Chains A and B, each alone.
Chain A
């Protein structure tokens, strides 16, 4: 890509994300989870370089791929610079210039997403359904399962319970008398492609999903995975402005059901847990209270908050399955130590990828005794499933 074209894109992005407002206060850098582990990384510096017009240095640098887009910076920026969108836009620019990120596992999930853009693809993605689980091809509620059936194949060796949250969601909905739409026609939500600057693949996936969702007659789409949830609520509308079907996170939906008296949490779950907010759920969308309200209603359950929680929650260290490097591992181990310090027996999370990353970090080789980070990470919904 020509240098002036990159410059043009950069100028557009600066305007779009409000980066010109930056007062170089450095709050972003002080909050950045990566800077904590890698002193060479500084979000402020990236913005300053951009403002100085150093387009190629910004687009060509590894830094833009290292950023987790966890939005801790954006959330606290006094001038509301949309840093995550700035990075995402730079990635689109860089990709057009032929620069691609290093994806985990040789980019396998990314390749699968690419395959899912084929309109007539026949997928075998329902093999995980257990006997007695009721699902349908059409109906009022659609359960967006996300990529757990695929992740389970790829990461099964690290976490054989990748699918536990998806299964728990079906069980819980069935217990509420709901037969959700779960179909082999679902595609990858495209979140990772969107955040890796691959707009083309994202749009293809979004269109296929929108078409499928509409064809099921669903009135409400329920998502469990925070990444799918973010894509469905904030990004699909950029592809199809007419996509107006209600999308709820399952925690929001279950809270409503609780208030309506339809969801009854009666069984005792006598343990202490802690809860890891995913970046997408807590900061990108702002679903913070609902999961906590649900946990509060589980008889016998004690909830212990970590040092960083809610919209200030630490990240799991990897986003969009890119750059799972030594910095990621340090972030993961730091988070696990926080969880361990609460005295909880388990850490709950909605995001299957967060769970995979934590498990990978704590079961790999460590530079310190294993006990310091030895805490199991399980899907949030499994606890609710036990309580109903």
Chain B
């Protein structure tokens, strides 16, 4: 699914490149529904509606989510309960509120009942809030007058064995949501201008592809590569599976196209040393001292091959090499073909030094085994594995071809094999699962299929970019399935092996996806940012600076002012940087900071509703 998503975005990018060539400029990219004229009943004042003569008119939509919620919670009972709550003028249930008929029901009810608040009780806001917000907006209701209640993760899934009590809890959750909905206020999303240029970090195959795609869409690109030459890890390979084309022949033309592109500026060798700003307005400083502004950033900094120190005699025994070292031997030209080669899969991965499967080692070993076999049919090649993972059509074919060529596959288990030197020759000892006995294989060359690991610089880079790393220290995308090339931070995108082990084809797919995503704000020229940001009451702010030091996004700074209160410092929020996490408003010593859309009165209303009887 992530690959499909990236591929889809990639195709979109290629489409846009074509469009750009036709029109000469970058265009389009995502759209927000244009709000109709605001609903006549929508409150215009910011005061809570409880104090306003025009009453709240709340519509409640309870979703069965198929049987996810409806199979446990008594949805009709919750609807009946909701319809009796104060200010609720309409309550209904939908099999799937997120389906077309559910969304239509919301729109219809907004106009039919004059709703000025909409509450949907269904699944998770993480995936579905944007959809419902857009629906409200399309029906003329400000999207911030929408309230979400999670009856699936917070109720039916966790209480599936207690349907009666789950129903009671669902009622309470809806009641809390209604309490907050009453106090919701309309918000306008600030619109920020975008610097129409991008930066790509990394000149490997992913970075090159991304840079080329963005530039072909008509936007200037700064490509930053730490090494003195382009190509990254791919350029150091021998031949590339499954086409067996020379790696240089594949990567070379892309690198040349990038070098020759009038809209791509190469910074090489260089690294980023400082970054400030936010989507549309990132200020970049390089190790070379150069400074420039970009609107979006693609991270394609790649990965390293694990150094198998202390494993299988690597570094101590002669003729124990990694797949990468074997590729370099083969690329250098004919070398004395060994009589017997043993390849050890998962060398250092899947629980040894790292926990994950590196995804590329199986087909790499098979490819190199075939190359060895084709050039020297008498060489015995033995691949010791712990399951062969060759996914997809092409790689599976290669697996069979290797078997036909006489490459031997043996499954070791449960322990990893051990390598020693006996009488001047290498010996690999392992327990053969197929034969159910211990075996010794003499070898002239032992090749370790080591995993890709995160680069050590990723740590510092993640801090500079304010984006997270996963537990294996690879960059961590916004959503593994639905947003595979986005970071949670707006305007920054990720592709290639910096995100985790990937083959070259997938790197390119992701790169095109990331390029497409990164070009969206550039093409729009302006971007709407979330209205959920902090607001400082400068009349009461005492300028202590606690918020400034606690803000994880560096979105607050103290600024000197001279006003009726004299010369003093007050906190100022940069709305472009603020992510609306609410940390500042909760630590402010005198509540001088409030978070739009999550105000203290709104939260307290929910708490009070929860504690109230009935």
Contacts and interface: CB of A to CB of B under 8 A. Distances in A.
A37 B539 CA distance: 12
Contacts of A319: none
Interface in A99-123: 102, 104-106
A192 B613 CA distance: 30
Contact of B544 (A38, A327, A365, A368): A365
A214 B542 CA distance: 43
A330 interface: yes
A326 interface: yes
Contact of B545 (A40, A328, A365): A365
Nearest to B567: A367
Nearest to A324: B590
Nearest to B568: A367
Nearest to B543: A365
A329 interface: yes
A200 interface: no
Contacts of A330: 565-566, 568
A364 B558 CA distance: 11
B569 interface: yes
Nearest to B564: A39
A366 interface: yes
Interface string A306-335: 000000000000000001111111100000
A360 interface: yes
B541 A325 contact: yes
A104 B590 contact: yes
B591 interface: yes
Interface in B369-421: none
B156 interface: no
Interface residues of A, number: 22
B540 interface: yes
Contacts of B83: none
B540 A326 contact: yes
A40 B569 contact: no
A37 B568 CA distance: 11
B590 A102 contact: yes
Given A102-B590, A106-B591, A325 B540 contact: yes
Contacts of B560: 367
A327 B569 CA distance: 12
Given A365-B545, A365-B558, A367-B560, A325 B568 contact: no
Contacts, number: 62
B566 A105 contact: no
A365 B570 CA distance: 10
Contacts of A105: 589
B586 interface: yes
Contacts of B548: 365
Nearest to A322: B590
A324 B543 CA distance: 11
Contacts of A39: 564
Given A106-B586, A324-B542, A360-B544, A367 B569 contact: yes
Given A39-B564, A40-B564, A329 B543 contact: yes
Nearest to A334: B566
Interface string A5-29: 0000000000000000000000000
B167 interface: no
Contact of B542 (A40, A102, A329, A368): A329
Nearest to B546: A364
Contacts of B569: 365-367
Most buried by A among B565, B586, B589: B589
B213 interface: no
A39 B565 CA distance: 7
Given A106-B591, A325-B590, A37 B542 contact: no
B349 interface: no
B549 to A, nearest CB: 9
A241 to B, nearest CB: 36
Given A102-B591, A105-B589, A106-B586, A328 B542 contact: yes
B378 to A, nearest CB: 74
A105 B591 CA distance: 8
B510 interface: no
Most buried by A among B558, B566, B592: B566
A326 B564 contact: no
A76 B355 CA distance: 76
A37 B567 contact: no
Contact of A327 (B565, B567, B586): B565
A329 B560 CA distance: 14
Nearest to A39: B564
Interface in B559-614: 560, 564-570, 586, 589-592
14 contacts: A37-B566, A39-B564, A323-B590, A324-B590, A325-B541, A326-B565, A329-B568, A330-B565, A330-B566, A364-B543, A364-B544, A364-B546, A365-B543, A365-B544
Interface of B: 539-546, 548, 558, 560, 564-570, 586, 589-592
Give 9 closest A-B pairs by Cβ, nearest first: A365-B545, A325-B540, A364-B544, A329-B542, A326-B542, A102-B591, A324-B590, A367-B569, A367-B567
Interface of A: 37-40, 102, 104-106, 323-330, 360, 364-368
Given A37-B566, A106-B586, 7 more contacts: A102-B540, A105-B589, A106-B591, A364-B546, A365-B558, A366-B569, A367-B567
